[in-house]
């Protein structure tokens, strides 16, 4: 299955500072169609900032982002078109509180893609079905559990038919017993061939789903490789130490 797949996303030399603090110090990587790349690393390493730079929610100081060979950076006017093609799932869910689950998924289709209302509703229901929440369509975010909220937010992002999905620590804000249901959905997505970048601490998940694991620290990529290589034979001692600690904390589930 290792044909020459198309490169969906290319991140080139991203730098970002907030005031005097340099958060990202030249990060580059690329991801091919259908691949899942998992980014791990200690807090403050710039992982979330990097993701937000990809869809320009944060504008990098230096560097370029390419989506399917088209440059995303420096195109303020077209950024909204690009964002439609990139789905983002946030740590804090960020569901629209004044809309029920169905409308949350629908709104991008109706207001951004200008879809016909009936067609949008059908698509939204289908997406909710895919994440197992068809029955909760009329419930409001405040009435949903954390895991349900996150699954709705995944459905919302998927409804836009993105080329790549960006997950920013999707389970970090969830109670332990709710993490599983969300990881299930993300795994299903990966197996179905979605191109994804996932920032997470869930090592078991990373091990079983990632094509490549990227280790970031201090705003730079320090190490990268297949799960097998990273867990058994990383190039850097620091990587080994970090993975050991994290695996201890979060458990080695999903062997």
Partner 1 sequence: METITFIREILLAPLLEGTIVTLKLIAVSIPLGLFFGILIGTGRVYGNKFISSFCTIYTLFFRGSPLLVQLFILYYGLPSIGIFFSPFVAAVIGFSLCSCAYHSEYIRGALQSIKSGQMMAAEALGMTRFKAILYIILPQALRRAIPGCSNEIIYLIKYSSLAFIVTCVELTGAGKIIASRYFEYTLIFAVVGAIYLLIVSIVTKVLNILEKKLEIPGIG
By the criterion CB under 8 A, which residues form the site for partner 1?
A: 55, 57, 80-84, 86-88, 90, 92-98, 107-108, 111-112, 139-143, 153, 156-157, 160
Minimum distance, C-beta of residue 87 to partner 1, in the bound complex (Å): 8
- Residue 87 or 234 with smaller CB distance to partner 1: 87
Dump the DSSP string for 192-253. Answer: TT-EEEEE-S-HHHHHHH-SEEEEEETTEEEEEE-HHHHHH--SSHHHHHHHHHHHHHH---
Judged on CB neighbours under 10 Å (0-12, 13-18, 19+), 110 is middle
The torsion angle over the Cα atoms of residues 69, 170, 151 and 115, rounded to 10 degrees, is -30
Q: Based on CB atoms, which residue is closest to partner 1, 111 or 241?
A: 111
Q: What is the dihedral of CA 159, 161, 165, 167, to 10 degrees?
A: -10
Instruction: For residue 72, list its beta bridge partners.
Output: none
Cβ nearer to partner 1, comparing 173 with 246: 173
- Residue 82 or 242 having the CB closest to partner 1: 82
Query: Smallest distance, Å, CB 248 to partner 1?
Result: 31
Q: How far is the CB of 47 from partner 1 (least distance, A)?
A: 16
User: What is the nearest approach in angstroms of partner 1 to the Cβ of residue 76?
Assistant: 11
């Amino acid at each position: 299955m290792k044909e020459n797949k198309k490169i969906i996303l290319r991140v080139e030399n991203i730098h970002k500072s907030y005031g005097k603090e340099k958060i990202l110090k030249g990060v580059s990587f690329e991801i091919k169609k259908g691949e899942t790349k998992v980014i791990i690393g200690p807090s403050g390493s710039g992982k979330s900032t990097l993701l937000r730079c990809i869809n320009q929610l944060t504008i990098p100081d230096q560097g370029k982002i390419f989506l399917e060979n088209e440059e995303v950076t420096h195109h303020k006017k077209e950024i909204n078109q690009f964002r439609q093609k990139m789905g983002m799932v946030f740590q804090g869910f960020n569901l629209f509180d004044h809309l029920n689950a169905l409308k949350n998924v629908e709104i991008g289709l109706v207001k951004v893609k200008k879809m016909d209302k009936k067609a949008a509703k059908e698509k939204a229901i289908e997406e909710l079905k895919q994440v197992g929440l068809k029955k909760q369509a009329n419930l409001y975010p405040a009435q949903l559990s954390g895991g349900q909220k996150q699954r709705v937010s995944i459905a919302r992002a998927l409804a836009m038919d993105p080329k790549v999905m960006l997950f920013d620590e999707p389970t970090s804000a969830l109670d332990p017993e709710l993490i599983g249901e969300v990881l299930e959905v993300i795994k299903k997505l990966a197996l179905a061939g979605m191109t994804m970048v996932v920032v997470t601490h869930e090592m078991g998940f990373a091990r079983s789903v990632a094509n490549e694991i990227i280790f970031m620290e201090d705003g730079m990529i320090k190490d990268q490789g297949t799960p097998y290589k990273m867990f058994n034979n990383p190039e850097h001692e620091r990587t080994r130490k970090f993975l050991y600690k994290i695996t201890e904390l979060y458990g080695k589930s999903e062997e």
